[in-house]
Amino acid sequence: MAAVSLRLGDLVWGKLGRYPPWPGKIVNPPKDLKKPRGKKCFFVKFFGTEDHAWIKVEQLKPYHAHKEEMIKINKGKRFQQAVDAVEEFLRRAKGKDQDLTIPESSTIKGMMAGTMAAFKWQPTVNEPVKDADPHFHHFLLSQTEKPAVCYQAITKKLKICEEETGSTSIQAADSTAVNGSITPTDKKIGFLGLGLMGSGIVSNLLKMGHTVTVWNRTAEKEGARLGRTPAEVVSTCDITFACVSDPKAAKDLVLGPSGVLQGIRPGKCYVDMSTVDADTVTELAQVIVSRGGRFLEAPVSGNQQLSNDGMLVILAAGDRGLYEDCSSCFQAMGKTSFFLGEVGNAAKMMLIVNMVQGSFMATIAEGLTLAQVTGQSQQTFLDILNQGQLASIFLDQKCQNILQGNFKPDFYLKYIQKDLRLAIALGDAVNHPTPMAAAANEVYKRAKALDQSDNDMSAVYRAYIH
């Protein structure tokens, strides 16, 4: 798109990455949301969605001048709904001197948190419209820093319904909350594990209208104090998801006292979203299926922020029918999902993805420290990277955190080191060399020795400066 002269309040077509142009309005960003460095851009709120983002000026076009062109090339129902919202906005604005806020999609309810709560969208009377593309509602990264979602924060926004079994079923406080492109399954959903990833996943499941029964394995955390057990959750739900830290935790959850296996009966479904090795997930699949249950592995690529934003990438393998049954859940928690075939394939792929990510993070830290000791500006080093082929949200966020000394966990260092270790073992099992991962693993091990385990993976930087 060609650069144009724009100002605050203008209606525009905005384009982000590979996604089609979408109608929006240039608005003031929240006070705590910084403008990206080195980029001439505007903050755009998009019609018909809860999405908003910084968009480069060259990726913007005036709405009226290009309306017919855009309508010709975009035919989706969600797109038409967004255009209708613009026209409704214009009708309301006609004859009024004051500036009107953008109508909020009728699908957006009271579960909004963080920066989004600062906006005052006016609700419309339009009914939700199903989208031809079930993943399109996630097409923008909401670049706000939402606080971590814990069980206590979730329950403040929910009504808790005690069932006869004593299990707690939690629903969105507004039970009519249905996303325009997601019709929530009528199956009862269970979720085990409310850590960095699980809390955000549960929040999005609820926001999209699912009924979810939760349990958390760590007694000190909110949720586990209610006395629920994995077996009880599985026995009262149709599909139970789990997301825990490592192979041992995954096995204990299934095979331990009052574990998942004790609640499995024919037809019960179990979806393990933990990042573990293929041997572990294969063993779990075998014991679940031996009891008549159905099994799917579905580890996720992402971090706490992406979990909160419903922008995870889901890698699934196992029972294809169960994968289809989880469709509305996967749409609520992620921007896309992949089905990779037989059990074990998703675990292998996830470890390879995280091996690359962990190695890249260690290399970034190495570059920053080398720049510092050779008298170069670390900020200039980052600015150069951000203008080149390596530019990415991951690179910018992790480097900014390092430069600010902010190592609040978004992806625990101890878990990326665990994934590197498992990826190296995967390579060893097939006699494939992984020297880069092995070198990175040693750096993370040093960082762990420096008490960085519970910090963000970017704290690997400290292994180079001590």
Partners of 123 in the β-ladder: 104
Verify that 52 and 25 share a domain, yes or no: yes
Q: Which two tokens stand for residue 229?
A: 């057990």
| Burial category of 116 from C-beta neighbours within 10 Å (exposed 0-12, middle 13-18, buried 19 and up) | middle
Whether 371 maps to a domain, the answer reads yes
Pairwise CA distance, residues 199 & 218, whole Å: 13
Residue 218 is predicted with a pLDDT of 60
How far is residue 380 from each of residues 157, 310, 368, 457, measured CA to CA in Å? 43, 33, 10, 22
Verify that 217 and 248 share a domain, yes or no: yes
Instruction: Indicate the residue among 89, 107, 129 that finishes a domain.
Output: 89
Q: pLDDT, tens digit, for every residue of 358-398?
A: 999 999 999 999 999 999 999 999 999 999 999 999 999 99
Residue 141 is predicted with a pLDDT of 32
Whether 329 maps to a domain, the answer reads yes
Q: Which region holds residue 73: left if phi is over 0, alpha if psi is between -120 and 50, else beta?
A: alpha
Whether 196 maps to a domain, the answer reads yes
Q: pLDDT, tens digit, for every residue of 88-101?
A: 888 887 755 444 55
Among the listed residues 185, 173, 105, the one whose alpha carbon sits nearest the alpha carbon of residue 137: 105
Verify that 285 and 389 share a domain, yes or no: no
How far is residue 200 from each of residues 93, 235, 444, measured CA to CA in Å? 37, 24, 26
Among the listed residues 276, 287, 278, 182, the one whose alpha carbon sits nearest the alpha carbon of residue 234: 287
Partners of 171 in the β-ladder: 159
Helices marked H in 345-392 — which ranges? Answer: 345-373, 378-386
Whether 125 maps to a domain, the answer reads no
Length of the chain in terms of residues written: 466
pLDDT along the chain (466 residues), means of 10: 73 77 88 70 82 83 89 78 87 62 40 32 34 33 35 42 39 36 86 92 90 74 50 94 96 94 96 97 97 97 93 96 96 95 98 98 98 96 94 94 95 97 98 98 98 97 93
The whole domain housing 211 covers: 173-343
Number of domains into which the chain is organized:
3
Verify that 277 and 251 share a domain, yes or no: yes
Verify that 334 and 354 share a domain, yes or no: no
CATH assignment of the domain containing 320: 3.40.50.720
Whether 155 maps to a domain, the answer reads no
Verify that 211 and 360 share a domain, yes or no: no
Whether 43 maps to a domain, the answer reads yes
Verify that 180 and 308 share a domain, yes or no: yes
Are the C-beta atoms of residues 95 and 163 closer than 8 Å to each other? no
DSSP 381-413: HHHHHHTSTT--HHHHHHHHHHHHT----SSBH
Instruction: Indicate the residue among 343, 374, 396 that finishes a domain.
Output: 343
Instruction: Indicate the residue among 283, 315, 343 that finishes a domain.
Output: 343
Whether 128 maps to a domain, the answer reads no
Are the C-beta atoms of residues 351 and 301 closer than 8 Å to each other? no
Q: Which two tokens stand for residue 167?
A: 């299990």
CATH assignment of the domain containing 36: 2.30.30.140
Verify that 82 and 15 share a domain, yes or no: yes
Verify that 250 and 308 share a domain, yes or no: yes
Pairwise CA distance, residues 358 & 414, whole Å: 11
Verify that 184 and 329 share a domain, yes or no: yes
CATH assignment of the domain containing 383: 1.10.1040.10
